[in-house]
Structure 1
Amino acid sequence: MSEAAPRPIDRHLFAGFLRQHRGAAVAVAGWSLLEAVPALASGLLVAAALDRGFLAGRPAEGFFWIGLLGAAMVFRALMTRTLTPWLGRLVEPLRDELVTAVAAGAVHRAAAGVRDAAGAGVARLTVQVETVRALVSALLRSARQLGVSLLMAFVGLAALSAPVAAVTLPPVLLTLLLCAPRLRVLARRQRRQLRAEEGLTAAAGETFDGIRDVVACGAQDRVADDLSARITDHRDAVRAVARAASANTLLVSLGSHLPLLVLLLAAPRLLDRGALSVGELLGATSYLISGVAPALRSLVAVLGSWGVQLATVLRQLSRSTTQGPHGAAESQGRATSPHTPRSPHLSLVNVGYAYGPGAAPVIDRLSLDIPAGSHLTVVGPSGAGKSTLTTLLAGLAAPDNGRLTLGGVPVTEVDRAWLHRAVTLIPQEAYVFTGTVRDNLRYLRPLAKDADLLASATAVGARALVDRLGGLDAPVGLDGPPLSSGERQLVALARAHASPASVVLLDEACCHLDPAAEERAERAFAARGTTLVVVAHRISSALRAPRVLVLDGERTAIGTHAQLLDESPLYADLVGHWVAAGTP
């Protein structure tokens, strides 16, 4: 690829962003200092009100200083109002930068053949970027204000009484130093919680989507055990986060009260030596109680929640903005040396595939030959890798190990234009484009004649639907009548039948059709000499196929229906269940 790969989302991106928006950043810093004037002046004004006013017998002057403190609070509110638009000038452009980085990363990774690039990019774009925006906005509002207030409170405390600042500052610094590594621990545990949550969500989604397979294969107990283990892992991760957060809360609570305790212990000696007046003692107490303690507790709490969440999300989000060495190598290989296979013969030798580093392989050491023009049905429990296999066969993902070839050419080196013409994958949820019926049926074969389109519709059993809609010129999609899931599948099947594809992969593509319609569609593809791979929705699909692949982990088997009844306990149980249920 000639374009430069997108930058990962890290501190360099934020540093560049701040340089680009230096004016807004400087304005936010300046207005933040003005906003913190009450935190700086509160103890000084309280001390002046007592020492120069009430204790000196001049109550009017005392009320004057108290009035200045009230005016400082009003001034703070005005500064906060003035500051808010400047925060928006940082947050909104940052969101645009993140959207650009993630979108560019998704495009680069998709072009490089990195798995799940498009879907993951969209998810990150729509969810995680908005999460980052919300967290950055919250941190700019809260952590910024708390941090500046804490700093100003100590500046005011030092201006009020250097001895008091000298004895109260060390406990606060010690608390911050002890909390920093605890925040890193919390971040690691939150990342573990996020991984556990993603794993649980994915496993639950696969289980519920394939619940019919689970019941058909009698795998309820095994699936329940797997989900239970993932729930336990998620529960343990949540508890670990809670323990880390509780430890931080206890540490900060002790640390925020320790300066006041130190002051109260040192106060008698400081008062006796004349190093501290009564007003200065009350002013210092005001700094600690209303400034330092709440600001310290809130700052660590905010950083331990929103700050850690932001770091975790940015870590996840950053993965979509880098192309990755394997993806870059594959992209370069395809761009420089594409090959056109001699035939659509598919061959897998010790192929393995897993959804992410460290994940258990979904496909593990699978060896399989699918000769051109052959008919294979794939069965197995939910999560066994049936849909993953069709994704690999379609060239939409590359195996992690082993060798997958199409016509003797590794699938990663096949000319992409040829591959898109030669291989058609129809998923369970079929898509109908907005346009006419003709536009939909000839999408994969733009120059197809109307007669050929109607013949394909007739072959797969969609002709009655086409006539009911009003013929090839009838509108469908957003401009047409609503179609049922089965009707959308008929349109997709007719589209694939009319295409020039020599390999057709049906991933439960007939699951919303009745058994007779499913049989008609499968026989139509087999009759045209197409290499046909069917992920079975009903056991009848396996009965029609010359060969059946049973995906079952280490017990994966392939053979005829009769052979598998003897050799594969899972297949025998599957057939027995469907026969007992009276399902065709």
Structure 2
Amino acid sequence: MAGPSLTRHRRAARGRPSPDPSTASGRGLLLTLLRRRRRPLVMATAWSLVEAGPAWLSGLLIAQAIDQGFLTGSAGTGLAWLALLGLAMLGKAVATRLMFPHLAAVVEPLRDDLVRAVVTAAVTRAARTAEPPDAAAATRLTEQVDTLRNLVSALLRSSRALGIALIAALGGLLALSPLVAAMTAGPVLVALAVFARLLPVLMARQRELILADEALTARATPILTGLRDIAACGAGSQAYADVEPAVTAQAAAARALARAALGRRLVVALGAHVPLLGLLIVARPLIQDGRLSAGEVVGAVTYLATGLDPAMRALVGTVGGWGVALAVTARRIAETVTVPDVPVPPGGHLSPSGHELRAEQLSFAYAPQATPVVRDLDLTIREGEHLTLVGPSGIGKSTLSMLLTGLRRPTGGEIRLGGVPLASIAEREARTMMALVPQEAYVFSGTVRENLAYLVPDDAKNDAEDDARDDARDERLREAAERVGGGPLLERLGGLDAVIAEPSALSAGEKQLVALARTYAAPARLVVLDEATCHLDPAAEARAELAFAARPGTLVVIAHRISSARRARRIVLMDGTAVLTGSHDDLMVSSPLYADMVGRWQPEGST
């Protein structure tokens, strides 16, 4: 998913012996991304030089207006000099207007590249390692990536003006009065030395805050997603005790950063206020000695008040605030987009005989010391069978569905498809034979046809020269939509050629209809519906499930209504300690857990 440059960066990072790269990794990531946008960077810099005109000319023009104009009684001459300053300000406004499109051409693609990198790393790490899902990836994908994008934008906007304005102010001051420039240089150098000592402290505090934010997200996410179960079990106090230390640590990190940031005010006072105060104190004696004119004093004050002071404030605010946050955030993202170099097992080459699915002593745990979600499961799903999987929330039904379809690798036992170990089947063939429809349906921007034909093999969807085949494919897609109850939706959208520009405009139920039709049209002979109809009303759900039950192949439904269980030929009940199978009537007699679940489902029992 990531571009070539990002790929090279990740590969280079894999070779590092330490899992904690230096800050150079963050700089390397940013340089890799910015290097691909040299031209807009150069153009933005060029217009920034034009923007610096008033900062360079202001003190000189004001001094000329006073000494050669107003003090000599020639108001017209003074106004003429000020008019030149006005023209310089107008040129600055035009340059700013022309600079921003080039700045946008740098910043907006940067965010897209970072999102691709974070998502690619999170998905790859989850697929290739035994690590549990990275809950903190949501923080990086939203808060940190957006922070990095805003920081790069702010820094490019401000630092170009900061550096140019600081040089222009000091250069203009030197040209106006070398004496005042010498008086200013000492405090400025002291301020820069203090600032250099302060930066490592700010970076350490900023990193502590980012890690505390991630820790809080990782601790709070499971609790937020399980609020229903927490309330049902009366575990509110336990949940509070679990997340409270992370909240306290995050608040302490934020306070520590705020305390460290107070040192930035000292830098501004030393670098800007002390020179200005010193000039005002010695201005009268210097004028009386003839070493400075009144106009030069006003011009020097202009440089110090409107040039040096804002430049020093921008220095500590931009570099000491945004710059520190940028360096630390870039380092953290660079660390997390570095995917561990875990060898990927070679793809299989065997072909299954049929699509009977058999799990033997199947086990899975998210971590070596964690309690297994699935333990020593033996289960056979025969060809053509309609089976429903039920159990309490959080018992592991969705995990089992991913194991059965090969989207997660078991930590124990084996799964066979058509008599062949699932790991020994070529990935492409396995994905063609099996399909999993999750609860959160995915619809992408594109035509309705592209969405529905996504799982149809290439040889049946890319042969633009064979009109007959295209017509047959389109008829297959329309039939699939109609069978699962998506015909009215297809008509409302405008047919197969209609464009879904904003998938978010579709309701959750409409997205599920698109995903169901997509899977119905696919060649998969083993379909798992993981609460894939939960956003449909009972009648629409019944129509979709019955359509898949009548479709050739095997159907496994993870039920969220009692009606789904009653429609199945066989029910598999997961209760955490054992797996029971049987019909609805059998389980009502043999399993108190199932009877209790049916009782809680009963308001929908008439459906």
TM-score range, shorter chain: 0.5 to 0.7
Give SS of 1:169's match.
helix
**SS of 1:396's equivalent?**
coil
Aligned to 2:250: 237
Cα deviations by residue, 1:40-85 (Å, 9 ceiling, x for unpaired): 45455666777x579xx94448996786466335314404523543
Q: 3-state SS of the aligned residue for 1:506?
A: strand
Residue 549 of structure 1 deviates from its aligned partner by 1.2
- Pair 1:370 & 2:379 matched: yes
Cα pair distance change 1:26/1:410, threshold 3 Å: same
For residues 307 and 518 of structure 1, the distance between their equivalents in structure 2, rounded to whole angstroms, comes to: 53
Q: Secondary structure at the match of 2:349?
A: coil
Deviates more, 1:561-570 or 1:311-320: 561-570
- Deviation per CA, 1:124-161, whole angstroms, max 9, x where unpaired? 99998887665534332223212321233334445453
Task: Identify the match of residue 380 of structure 1 among 362, 375, 392.
Answer: 392
Alignment match, 2:7: 6
Q: Distance in 1 between matches of 2:234 and 2:276?
A: 63
Closer, same or farther in 2 for the Cα pair 1:513/1:168, shift >3 Å? closer
1:417 and 2:436 aligned: no
Q: Is 1:293 aligned to residue 309 of structure 2?
A: yes
For 1:468-487, what aligned pairs fall within 5 Å after superposition? 478-479=494-495
Structure 2 distance, partners of 1:72, 1:445, is 69
| Structure 2 unaligned spans of 5+ | 11-25, 461-468, 499-504
Question: What SS does the aligned partner of 2:346 have?
Answer: helix
Letter in 2 for 1:297: R
Structure-to-structure mapping, 1:93-492, within 5 angstroms:
95-96=108-109, 99=112, 114=127, 135-158=151-174, 159-185=178-204, 187-189=206-208, 191-192=210-211, 195=214, 206=225, 214=228, 219=232, 221-222=234-235, 226=239, 233=246, 237=250, 240-241=253-254, 244-245=257-258, 247-248=260-261, 250-259=262-271, 260-261=273-274, 264=277, 277=292, 279=294, 284-303=300-319, 306-307=322-323, 310=326, 314=330, 325-326=341-342, 329-330=343-344, 333-334=346-347, 337-341=348-352, 344-347=357-360, 349-353=362-366, 364=373, 366-373=375-382, 375=387, 377-382=389-394, 385-398=396-409, 401-402=411-412, 405-407=415-417, 411=422, 413-428=424-439, 434=448, 478-479=494-495
The 3 A distance-change label for structure 1 pair 422 and 40 is same
Distance 1:36 1:499 in 2: 62
Distance 2:541 2:526 in 1: 18
Q: Secondary structure at the match of 2:357?
A: coil
Residue 518 of structure 1 deviates from its aligned partner by 6.3
| Partner AA of 2:435 in structure 1 | T
Write the deviation string for residues 222-247 of structure 1: whole angstroms up to 9, x where unpaired: 47964896598468636743652464
TM-score of the aligned structures, taking structure 2 as reference length: 0.65
Tell me if structure 1 keeps the 8 A contact 2:61–2:85.
no
Change (3 A) 1:105 1:186: closer
Task: In structure 2, give the amino acid aligned to 1:381.
Answer: S
Residue 534 of structure 1 pairs with residue 534 of structure 2: no
Answering whether residue 87 of structure 2 is matched by residue 74 of structure 1, we say yes
Q: Does 1:547 align with 2:572?
A: yes
Deviations 1:432-483 (A, max 9, x none): 99469x9899999979x99xx99x99xxxx86959x969xxx9575428999
1:353 CA displacement = 3.4
**Are residues 178 and 108 of structure 1, via their aligned partners in 2, closer, same or farther at CA, if it must alter by over 3 Å?**
closer
Query: 2:87 corresponds to which letter in structure 1?
Result: V
Q: Is the 8 A contact 2:484 2:547 kept in 1?
A: no
Q: CA deviation at 1:379?
A: 1.8
Structure 1 position 188, deviation (Å): 1.9
Q: Structure 1 residues 529 and 8 mapped into 2: Cα distance closer, same or farther (>3 Å)?
A: same
Q: Which stretch shifts more, 372-381 or 556-565?
A: 556-565
Secondary structure, aligned partner of 1:219: helix
Cα deviation code 1:298-337 (max 9, x no counterpart): 34334455545655765676689766534xx43x722xx4
Which of 506, 519, 528 is 2:529 aligned to?
A: 506
Distance 1:31 1:469 in 2: 55
- In the alignment, what sits opposite 2:580? 559
Letter in 2 for 1:426: V
Inter-CA distance 72–428: structure 2 relative to 1 (3 Å threshold): same
Query: Cα distance 1:74–1:242, how it changes in 2: closer, same or farther (>3 A)?
Result: farther
CA offsets per residue over residues 101-142 of structure 1, 9 Å max, x none? 86699789979994899xx99999999888766553433222
Q: Could you tell me which runs of 5 or more consecutive residues in structure 1 were left unpaired when the two chains were aligned.
A: none
Local SS of the residue matching 2:407 = coil
Deviation of the 1:423 alpha carbon: 1.6
Cα separation, 1, equivalents of 2:86 and 2:244: 50
TM-score for the superposition, normalised by structure 1: 0.67
Deviates further, 36-45 or 560-569: 560-569
> Sequence identity, in percent?
32
2:173 touches 2:303 (CA, 8 Å); kept in 1?
yes
CA 445–302 in structure 1, closer or farther in 2 if over 3 Å, else same: same
Letter in 1 for 2:402: T
Deviations 1:165-185 (A, max 9, x none): 343113320342144224424
Q: What secondary structure is seen at the aligned counterpart in 1 of 2:381?
A: coil
2:557 maps to amino acid: V
Measure how far apart 1:508 and its partner are.
1.4
Q: Residues 91 and 155 (structure 1 numbering): CA distance in 2 closer, same or farther, change over 3 Å? A: same
Q: How far did residue 350 of structure 1 move?
A: 3.8
In structure 2, the CA distance between the partners of 1:365 and 1:109, relative to structure 1 (3 Å rule), is same
Aligned mates of 2:598, 2:334 — CA distance in 1: 47
Q: Partners of 1:112 and 1:232 in 2: how far apart? A: 28
Classify 1:169/1:404 alpha carbon distance in 2 versus 1 (closer, same or farther; 3 Å): farther
Contact residue 53 and residue 62 of structure 1 kept, 8 A: no
Instruction: Report if aligned partners of 2:561, 2:604 keep a CA contact under 8 Å in 1.
Output: no
Looking at structure 2, the residues matched to 445 and 344 of structure 1 have their Cα atoms a distance apart, in angstroms, of 27
| Shift in alpha-carbon separation, 1:345–1:137, aligned structure 2, 3 A | same
Matched length: 547
Shift of 1:559: 3.0
Instruction: Confirm or deny: 8 A CA contact 1:49 1:66 kept in the other structure.
Output: yes
